[in-house]
Structure 1
Amino acid sequence: MNAEVHDLKACEVPTAEARAELERLLSDSRFRVTERQKDILRYLAERRFNGCEEGVKAYSLAVDVLGRPSGFDASIDPIVRIEISRLRSALDAYYQAFGAADNVTIHIPKGMYIALFPGTLIPHGPEDEIHTGSEPAVESRPPVLMPEAPVQPVRPRNGIRLAAVAAGLVVAIGAVAGVKLFVQRPAMTKKPTVYVMMTAAEAGMQREASQTRDTLMTALTQFTTLTIAKPGYSHVRSGARSGRSYEIDMKYYADADDRSIWWQIADSETGDLLKSGLEKVDVSGKSPASVREEMAAGLAQHFAATRGVINSIEIHDSPDDALGNACILRAEYALDEGGADRVTRSRDCLEQSLAAAPGDPDARALLSRVLLAGKGASLDPAVRSRAMELAKSAVSSAPMSDRAQVALMAAQFSAGRTEAAVQAGNRAVELNPNNGDAAAKLALVLYLSGYKDAGVAMARDAGRFVETAPRDAMLVRALDAYRTGRYSEASLLAEQINCTDFMVATLRAAALGQLSSPEAHERLSEIRSKDPAFERTFHDRVASWRLQPDIAAELEAGLIKAGAQVDPGAVSSITTP
């Protein structure tokens, strides 16, 4: 048993509370995992409740839960590592977004398959379960002693909500006495303001640290998710601003072989430490400028991306019915993860946000994309027209916004204007070269438009500075593997995409169908349960995706092998560039 597990066991809650948290989490629709991952979590938890203190083996999970044959070999079949990795990511995303109820969390330590139930949130950190590189862990690096910030427990803001409830009761009592009762409107949230500070661990490295900070500031301002404060104003609190503010405090370290930045994020108003971490770059064979750019790219993604640290906190701390920035962030999550109900809620929220703030270019851009995400919406001329109008107005209001350009790319592609779509996508990547999500979305447009090699190359490049490749980048690689007959690889990649939309579900079922896998029927049943008419409308869906005829025909063949009864009919003709 390693030291981490020993320490976590020391702060675990009683078994009764652990069981209650397991059942609560598995029944919460906001916990975005597959049924297979739920089965894995329950299996690990029940084994723990039954006295298994050393964890289970990959073989046991593969055979007992995933239905693999008795000859399963974890060294050649990584399914267990992949599913556990996705489960860890889902646990982190859930607790960071929605908090820990009753101060109980579920944690699966790296290197072991065991469920622990600590009383504080312990993030899993970067996943290395399927990493094949030889770079040692940060903890094994002896030359520099890094200050370690204590792990902060998740403090649900129930106190604030309870205070609001109490205030409501007082108003209600006043209303009974004849005082006018006002209806509370949803909160209008704004982009958070960020103050960036960096110092060098050694005086001789201060110039290098300042140059790295300047490069990071440039990278951060290219994202449209945050407001970056001018250097030198780090102690100005957020009283004059309508949004929340954060301070990013960094310390720069230099060794012979690498450069490291230890960072922590704090709430400017309360001073609470919210998150800390370490970014490291190997300097071997690299120029000082390229090292700075690589360091800045990784940190900018971590801080400012939609799924980055600060925006995850923003979503967690915003009311469920909040308008404005919180609504925009949740819409991006809904688009990436799929689900008709979530997309519909996002559309309604964005409509309300625009009614309250008609000039918001981010709300316009996201509403444009959400409208096109509705089932069959891309085939509806009225929907396409409004989506195009919203995207163009977003670009007109914010011409330097990669969000606006991505929306315009999606609208142009939906309208069949391939060259205009690629142009808008290239503009988005030029405006923010560190936004892997924008690059991944352009990669998908390129691939679906027939520029397959360019799409695959960009998809691979989109995941350079992130721990998990963007959804669209994974989809491009999966589609290409399927198109070229590498069905096992296509199935593996498709299963790694944390998304429930129709294209991903179809690819999963078709790949398994081509492999004659018994699991193909299970995947097919999942599609039918969500969309009973999918076999009848398959060709319309293909037309809305603007899939190339060769890929569409291959997908149809895989679905038929899986047991689908796709209505006969020619796939809509799509012009190849």
Structure 2
Amino acid sequence: MNDHPIGSEEQVRAELNHVLRAPSFQATDRNHRFLAYVVEETLAGRGERIKAYSIATDVFGRDDSFDPLQDPIVRIEAGRLRRALEHHYLAAGSLTGIRITIPKGTYIPAFEAPEPAPSVPASAPLDLHMKAPHVMVRAFEQHCWAADWPDLGRTLTLQVISALTRFTELFVYGFGTSMALSEAHSAPRVEIDYELTGNLTITRTSIRAEFLLQNVREGRFFWSHSIERVIGQSLDPSELVAVCGAIAGEVASIIAQRDGIMDGQAREMAGEMPTQFAAYHKLIEFQDYWRTVDLGRFEPLRQDLERVIAEDPRFAGAHACLSLLYSDAVRYGLDCGPEHPRPIERALLLARRAVQLAPMSGRARHALGVAEWFSGQPGKALETLRVACELNPNDSELNAEFGFRCAMRMEWDVGVPLLISSFQRNPQQSVQYHIGLFLYRFAMGDYEQAQQEAMAAIAPADVHPHPHIACAAALIRLGRHGEASAHLARAEAIAPGILDRLHDDLSARQIHPDLVAKLVLTLDPSRNGVAVLRQRGASQRH
């Protein structure tokens, strides 16, 4: 077993069973057996016997003549298993607090738990004098049907590093350091904030690259992306290198956008850079908040961003993110203290300042559009969000926001394609945007799909009543009253009295009156108490 095992054998087995049964563990039956075999062998104290030969013969059914030097099946399947595990933990997290990994260079599993981020005393002042984020690009694994291009993975690694160095606010380790640390078996002795790993798969007709970005300090994978490009039959080496170069440029731009780090060439469009690099870290924290909709992060982040704009008053990105927080205060009924009794006024002020500082910034227009929406100006908000998307048409978050707002106004032709494409490009974006697709499915009478979209909108923290209300509405239309009752009970527990004021609540969110009417009519039998549906569900069960 590991030199420093984490958790008991029972916990490890519980985690193994959870992974093997989870829909997010997208692996073949062969790799299910592969994972179970190496974990059980390790728990039994036979980890040193786990070799390519034993896996091939005991798991894959190869005969005694198997030669790992001639047959790369175990190495290829191990790479696929690693990717499947990374995807699972990115999508679903750990059940037990333990993560099962297969470290590169070995087939012996490790049982790990990320170290918690160090706590900062509440009285400690915000440190805005930190260095630039340090990024390490690990050598990308390569899987190829032929051995003609053994270094294409290294070529892509170099191209990604080169592309990232164009973003001058990043500290990116060079290619030599990347290669040395990727091949080292011991922990690196350099400081790393973010680590990019990837895999390159080459077939006769296509190149597929898969990427994962990890916050090393917290041990969290918070972004994943895949890019596939068709290649010609000639398989010209210059064409392959050119395709890898295009992939590198795309992934570097997305990473910079994801972390709020702007290309130096776009400074005139994005506004002035902050005087302290640590301000960017708050934008990263905001992106995590926006994706998870974890209201526990709201107040500390609001206070931190207020300090950021006080110290960097011309940093448009911080103004925009802070504006979105104040709009969320309106959306979720949060108290911002006596200094801001009307958070929507603060949201509008900050957003307008962001646009003034960076008139060509999509993020600034995003903040302004959301603030206009919650100030009761849906038409003006849609026009602002449309401009934001025109400024940055490849920003999946902007497309999702615009599509979401269009769906709320029943502008299906614009909103639905934007929402669908945004989730295809960025499946891990904020779950709140699924409500836009719920509204479309519900309006069209596709209640089964509507219920699935509503379920997908329930954030991990589960502190918002509206996805549960949406679930209940779809379930009632499907005749599943007992399940609907449970969701309504949860909505009432989160926001007491929400059902009694549902019409006013939905109208205040600028949802189209026809949608409000249909939702309220559907839920009307239970607006004066969830017990009605509970009773109906119980009678149906008996």
- Please report the TM-score for the alignment, with normalisation by the length of structure 1: 0.56
**Secondary structure of the structure 2 residue equivalent to 1:406:** helix
- Are residues 232 and 441 of structure 1, via their aligned partners in 2, closer, same or farther at CA, if it must alter by over 3 Å? same
Confirm or deny: 8 A CA contact 1:248 1:264 kept in the other structure.
Answer: yes
Confirm or deny: 8 A CA contact 1:362 1:394 kept in the other structure.
Answer: yes
Q: How does 1:285-434 map to 2 (within 5 A)?
A: 296-297=249-250, 300-301=253-254, 305=258, 324-338=279-293, 340-375=295-330, 382-434=342-394
Match of 2:133 in 1: 192
* Counterpart residue identity of residue 483, structure 2: E
Match of 2:473 in 1: 510
Unpaired segments ≥5 residues, structure 1: 1-9, 23-43, 59-80, 90-108, 131-146, 166-182, 237-242, 309-322, 567-577
Percent of matched pairs sharing the same residue: 19
- Are residues 244 and 357 of structure 1, via their aligned partners in 2, closer, same or farther at CA, if it must alter by over 3 Å? farther
Match of 2:520 in 1: 556
**C-alpha displacement of 1:487:** 1.1
**C-alpha displacement of 1:348:** 3.4
- Are residues 266 and 521 of structure 1, via their aligned partners in 2, closer, same or farther at CA, if it must alter by over 3 Å? closer
- CA distance, structure 2, for counterparts of residue 530 and residue 547 of structure 1: 21
Confirm or deny: 8 A CA contact 1:198 1:213 kept in the other structure.
Answer: no
Match of 1:533 among 494, 497, 500: 497
- Are residues 524 and 292 of structure 1, via their aligned partners in 2, closer, same or farther at CA, if it must alter by over 3 Å? farther
Note the alpha carbon deviations across 1:200-250, whole angstroms, 9 max, x for none.
9959979996997599659x96xxxx93469989979xxxxxx97657588
- CA distance, structure 1, for counterparts of residue 6 and residue 114 of structure 2: 22
Confirm or deny: 8 A CA contact 1:371 1:377 kept in the other structure.
Answer: no
Confirm or deny: 8 A CA contact 2:466 2:491 kept in the other structure.
Answer: no
Q: Are residue 125 (structure 1) and residue 73 (structure 2) matched?
A: no
Q: How does 1:488-507 map to 2 (within 5 A)?
A: 488-499=448-459, 500=462, 501-507=464-470
**Secondary structure of the structure 2 residue equivalent to 1:535:** coil
**C-alpha displacement of 1:285:** 8.1
Match of 1:227 among 149, 161, 169: 169
- CA distance, structure 1, for counterparts of residue 522 and residue 9 of structure 2: 43
- Are residues 553 and 262 of structure 1, via their aligned partners in 2, closer, same or farther at CA, if it must alter by over 3 Å? closer
Unpaired segments ≥5 residues, structure 2: 44-81, 92-102, 143-147, 179-190, 234-238, 262-277, 335-339, 530-542
**Secondary structure of the structure 2 residue equivalent to 1:281:** strand
Q: Which moved more, 1:427-436 or 1:376-385?
A: 376-385
Confirm or deny: 8 A CA contact 1:340 1:374 kept in the other structure.
Answer: no
**Secondary structure of the structure 1 residue equivalent to 2:425:** coil
- CA distance, structure 2, for counterparts of residue 417 and residue 55 of structure 1: 47
- CA distance, structure 2, for counterparts of residue 152 and residue 276 of structure 1: 22
Match of 1:465 among 420, 425, 439: 425
Note the alpha carbon deviations across 1:463-507, whole angstroms, 9 max, x for none.
233344652442221211111111111111211224243332321
Aligned residues: 419
- Are residues 229 and 250 of structure 1, via their aligned partners in 2, closer, same or farther at CA, if it must alter by over 3 Å? farther
* Counterpart residue identity of residue 537, structure 1: R
Confirm or deny: 8 A CA contact 2:135 2:172 kept in the other structure.
Answer: no
Match of 2:59 in 1: none
Match of 1:453 among 408, 413, 432: 413
Match of 2:185 in 1: none
- Are residues 486 and 191 of structure 1, via their aligned partners in 2, closer, same or farther at CA, if it must alter by over 3 Å? farther
Confirm or deny: 8 A CA contact 2:433 2:457 kept in the other structure.
Answer: no
Match of 1:485 in 2: 445
- Are residues 352 and 478 of structure 1, via their aligned partners in 2, closer, same or farther at CA, if it must alter by over 3 Å? same
- Are residues 482 and 299 of structure 1, via their aligned partners in 2, closer, same or farther at CA, if it must alter by over 3 Å? farther
Q: How does 1:138-287 map to 2 (within 5 A)?
A: 184-188=124-128, 192=133, 194=135, 202=149, 213=160, 227-228=169-170, 255-261=203-209, 279=226, 281-283=228-230
**C-alpha displacement of 1:198:** 8.9
Confirm or deny: 8 A CA contact 2:323 2:351 kept in the other structure.
Answer: yes
**C-alpha displacement of 1:187:** 3.2
Match of 1:17 among 8, 11, 25: 8
- Are residues 111 and 233 of structure 1, via their aligned partners in 2, closer, same or farther at CA, if it must alter by over 3 Å? closer
* Counterpart residue identity of residue 329, structure 2: G
- CA distance, structure 2, for counterparts of residue 408 and residue 537 of structure 1: 28
**Secondary structure of the structure 2 residue equivalent to 1:511:** helix
Confirm or deny: 8 A CA contact 1:263 1:278 kept in the other structure.
Answer: yes
Match of 2:510 among 534, 546, 551: 546
Confirm or deny: 8 A CA contact 1:280 1:295 kept in the other structure.
Answer: no
**C-alpha displacement of 1:459:** 0.6
